[in-house]
Amino acid sequence: MQLLSTAALFFVTALMELLGCFLPWLWMKGKAGPWVLVPATGALLAFVWLLSLHPAASGRVYAAYGGVYVATAVLWLWVVDGIRPSLYDLVGALVALLGMGIIAWGWKGAGGA
């Protein structure tokens, strides 16, 4: 259960990071006005705060988060960008999630948690 709640928190964290980067990208490409920088800033602040909620050492949190970020970015590719992920995208995301699970599974037994 702990692993699932960690993954869910990482998923929301990844959404905030993607949104916080996507909105300025829209503005820079001329597809949105500068007003998008306000919610982008809020999303990036939420991203940092959400990462701080994990009990493990920051390096472990960042390493494990990376796996969920990769998988969420592939989902973003499909849902937001409208590009169907390739088999390589999906397998890569699965491998990244497996890495996240391995790292997060060991948090309790690792020193410096």
Mean pLDDT by 10 residues, the chain (113 residues): 82 96 97 97 96 82 91 97 98 95 78 54
**pTM recorded for the entire structure:** 0.86
The token duo for 18 is 């993607």
Secondary structure class of 112 (helix, strand, coil) = coil
Cβ–Cβ < 8 Å for 71, 97: yes
DSSP 56-102: S-HHHHHHHHHHHHHHHHHHHHHHTS--PPPHHHHHHHHHHHHHHHH
**Per-residue pLDDT reduced to its tens digit, 66-87:** 999 999 999 999 999 999 999 9
